[in-house]
């Protein structure tokens, strides 16, 4: 079987401008790490294509893909979009995975909101609170402002203090608009509306005091049966930009977030993946979640925040761990950190450099 062509369109949720995002050093490093998930012989195509250079020195003599589901041919996109399908046609290849119209439907943040609500996965104090608006709902700024304000006014007082409008198609927290005391700034909303319309509308939800950001990574096979690859704790900047992942490895090599919420997170992620499979989606996916502090000071889990119908940085992290386990490098190890090293130095840790010439990205094994 021929090796795949890889279309590293990280940030494609942002529309046609994604190559500018992909040129950012941190995004480019993430794209290079993603290409290393695949078997030797894979090549990259398209704008902003990163080198496909087997960049994991201790693991480079392993020619196989990190996961069996990454061994196929065709054109594999980070996110299957119409642009990716067009690129596949120009390369004379089939686009691997689900068609873009299915991906767009389940990648929409409103899908995650609706599926979580239908499965009873919302925390009780958040049940029925968040809502979605479609592009056609985002007309005149004053009309939108009064509509959002009216909906938010029905929320419990503690949830009205701070809230956020998030693009239904977006990544890494970009493009959101915050409201306070139940109201939106008129000029800020007016400036944001064209962006919101272009990105599928918005989801409106309370802003909560996050304690930990978590994710579950899965694969949905052609039979529609989801397989859980592992769970992780995400390391993010205050603005939501990903820096890396940490977690624990069990005696069987299974990766977990190391949080007390792991069992609930896994069950919720599988429920969302089954809902996506029922909508026709197959392929890699991730469910984002977070632990937050409620008004009473107790920690709670919001087990479904987003459903990512694509590869994720978490997929790449688990792929590195899978390869390292295959090489016997993780025997006796329990905790790990995969990501940006500065500020997280541990003199007693073992470091496995990942990106050649980039000392800021490493796998730390405690």
Task: Band the pLDDT of 358: cuts 50, 70, 90.
Answer: very low
Which residues neighbour 21 within 8 Å (Cβ) at sequence distance 6 or greater?
A: 10, 11, 14, 27
Q: Is 347's pLDDT higher than 80?
A: no
Range of the domain at 201: 117-206
* Distance, CA of 192 to CA of 167 (rounded, Å): 10
**Using CA of residue 354, residue 360, residue 361, residue 363, what is the dihedral sign?**
positive
Residue 219 lies in a domain: yes
SS3 186: helix
Considering the domain architecture, whether residues 48 and 34 belong to the same structural domain is answered as yes
User: How confident is the model over 93-130, as pLDDT tens digits?
Assistant: 999 999 999 999 999 999 999 999 999 999 999 999 99
Residue 109 lies in a domain: no
* Mean pLDDT in residue range 195-205: 96
Considering the domain architecture, whether residues 265 and 337 belong to the same structural domain is answered as yes
Cross-strand pairs, 236? 242
Q: What average pLDDT does the structure give for the chain?
A: 87
User: How confident is the model over 145-183, as pLDDT tens digits?
Assistant: 999 999 999 999 999 999 999 999 988 678 899 999 999
Greater confidence (55 vs 283) lies with 283
Residue 155 belongs to a domain with what CATH number?
A: 3.30.1490
Crossing angle, helix 82-91 and helix 100-107, to 10 degrees? 150
Position 331 scores a pLDDT of 66
Q: What percentage of residues in the chain have a pLDDT greater than 70?
A: 87
Considering the domain architecture, whether residues 360 and 230 belong to the same structural domain is answered as yes
Task: Band the pLDDT of 346: cuts 50, 70, 90.
Answer: very low
Residue 202 lies in a domain: yes
Considering the domain architecture, whether residues 220 and 283 belong to the same structural domain is answered as yes
User: How confident is the model over 208-262, as pLDDT tens digits?
Assistant: 999 999 999 999 999 999 999 999 998 877 766 777 888 988 877 789 999 999 9
SS3 317: helix
Residue 112 lies in a domain: no
Q: State the total domains in the chain.
A: 3
Task: Band the pLDDT of 342: cuts 50, 70, 90.
Answer: very low
User: How confident is the model over 5-36, as pLDDT tens digits?
Assistant: 999 999 999 888 899 888 887 788 788 889 88
Position 105 scores a pLDDT of 97
Among 63, 96, 129, residue at a domain's last position: 96
Whose CA is closest to 76, among 28, 40, 44, 32? 44
Q: Is 362's pLDDT higher than 90?
A: no
Position 178 scores a pLDDT of 96
Which residues neighbour 265 within 8 Å (Cβ) at sequence distance 6 or greater?
A: 214, 216, 231, 257, 259, 287, 289, 301, 303
Considering the domain architecture, whether residues 176 and 298 belong to the same structural domain is answered as no
Position 130 scores a pLDDT of 98
Considering the domain architecture, whether residues 229 and 320 belong to the same structural domain is answered as yes
Considering the domain architecture, whether residues 145 and 177 belong to the same structural domain is answered as yes
User: How confident is the model over 311-336, as pLDDT tens digits?
Assistant: 999 999 899 888 888 877 776 657 77
Position 324 scores a pLDDT of 80
Residue 106 lies in a domain: no
Burial of 250 (0-12, 13-18, 19+ CB in 10 A): exposed
Residue 246 belongs to a domain with what CATH number?
A: 3.30.470
b/e per residue 190-208 (b: at least 16 CB within 10 A): eebbebbbebbbbbbbbeb
* Distance, CA of 50 to CA of 226 (rounded, Å): 30
User: How confident is the model over 261-275, as pLDDT tens digits?
Assistant: 999 999 999 999 999
What would the 3-class secondary structure string for 39-62 be?
Answer: CCCCEECCCCCCCCCCCCHHHCCC
* Distance, CA of 217 to CA of 26 (rounded, Å): 21
Residue 288 lies in a domain: yes
The answer to whether 227 touches 221, Cβ cutoff 8 Å, is: yes
Q: Which residue has the tokens 């800021």?
A: 360
Greater confidence (338 vs 286) lies with 286
User: How confident is the model over 73-95, as pLDDT tens digits?
Assistant: 999 999 999 999 999 999 999 99
Considering the domain architecture, whether residues 224 and 311 belong to the same structural domain is answered as yes
Which residues neighbour 206 within 8 Å (Cβ) at sequence distance 6 or greater?
A: 126, 129, 130, 155, 159, 160, 162, 163, 164
Whose CA is closest to 108, among 13, 180, 24, 3? 13
Considering the domain architecture, whether residues 269 and 337 belong to the same structural domain is answered as yes
Considering the domain architecture, whether residues 303 and 278 belong to the same structural domain is answered as yes
* Distance, CA of 165 to CA of 177 (rounded, Å): 5
Considering the domain architecture, whether residues 16 and 151 belong to the same structural domain is answered as no
Whose CA is closest to 314, among 293, 291, 339? 339
SS3 175: coil
Considering the domain architecture, whether residues 71 and 47 belong to the same structural domain is answered as yes
Among 206, 221, 236, residue at a domain's last position: 206
Residue 280 lies in a domain: yes
* Distance, CA of 337 to CA of 177 (rounded, Å): 31
Q: Is 63's pLDDT higher than 90?
A: no
Write the DSSP string, 72-135: --SEEESS--HHHHHHHHHHT-PBPSS-HHHHHHHHSHHHHHHHHHHTT-S-GGGTTT-EEE-G
40-49, 180-189, 312-321 — which one is most confidently predicted on average?
Answer: 180-189
Residue 107 lies in a domain: no
Specify the pairing of strand 5-7 against strand 43-44.
parallel
Q: Is 349's pLDDT higher than 60?
A: no
Write the DSSP string, 215-258: EEEEEE-TTS-EEEEEEEEEEE-TTS-EEEEEEEE-TT--EE--
How many CB atoms within 10 Å of residue 333?
A: 16
């Amino acid at each position: 079987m021929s090796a795949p062509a890889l279309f590293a369109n990280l940030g494609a949720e942002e529309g046609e401008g994604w190559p500018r995002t992909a040129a950012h050093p941190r995004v480019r490093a993430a794209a290079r790490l993603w290409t290393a998930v695949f078997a030797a012989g894979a090549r990259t195509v398209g704008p902003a294509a990163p080198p496909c250079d087997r960049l994991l020195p201790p693991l480079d003599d392993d020619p196989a893909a990190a996961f069996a589901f990454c061994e196929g041919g065709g054109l594999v996109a980070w996110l299957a979009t119409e642009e990716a399908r067009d690129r596949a046609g120009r390369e004379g290849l089939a686009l691997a995975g689900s068609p873009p119209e299915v991906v767009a439907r389940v990648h929409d943040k409103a899908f995650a909101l609706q599926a979580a609500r239908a499965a009873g996965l919302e925390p009780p104090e958040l049940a029925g609170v968040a809502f979605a608006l479609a592009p056609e709902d985002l007309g005149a700024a004053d009309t939108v402002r009064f509509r959002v304000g009216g909906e938010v006014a029905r929320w419990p007082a503690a949830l009205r203090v701070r809230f956020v409008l998030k693009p239904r198609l977006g990544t890494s927290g970009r493009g959101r608009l915050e409201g306070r005391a139940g109201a939106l700034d008129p000029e800020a909303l007016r400036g944001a509306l064209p962006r919101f319309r272009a990105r599928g509308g918005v989801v409106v939800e309370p802003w909560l005091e996050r304690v930990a950001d978590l994710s579950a990574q899965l694969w949905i096979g052609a039979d529609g049966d989801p397989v859980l690859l592992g769970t992780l704790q995400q390391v993010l900047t205050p603005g939501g930009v990903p820096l890396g992942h940490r977690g624990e490895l069990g005696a069987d090599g299974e990766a977990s977030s190391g949080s007390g919420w792991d069992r609930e997170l896994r069950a919720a992620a599988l429920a969302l993946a089954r809902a996506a499979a029922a909508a026709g989606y197959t392929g890699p996916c991730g469910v984002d979640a977070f632990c937050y502090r409620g008004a009473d000071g107790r920690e709670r889990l919001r087990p479904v925040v987003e459903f990512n119908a694509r590869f994720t940085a978490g997929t790449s992290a688990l792929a590195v761990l899978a390869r390292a386990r295959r090489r016997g490098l993780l025997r006796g190890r329990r905790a790990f950190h995969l990501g940006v090293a500065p500020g997280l130095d541990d003199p007693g840790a073992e470091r496995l450099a990942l990106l050649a010439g980039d000392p800021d990205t490493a796998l730390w094994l405690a």
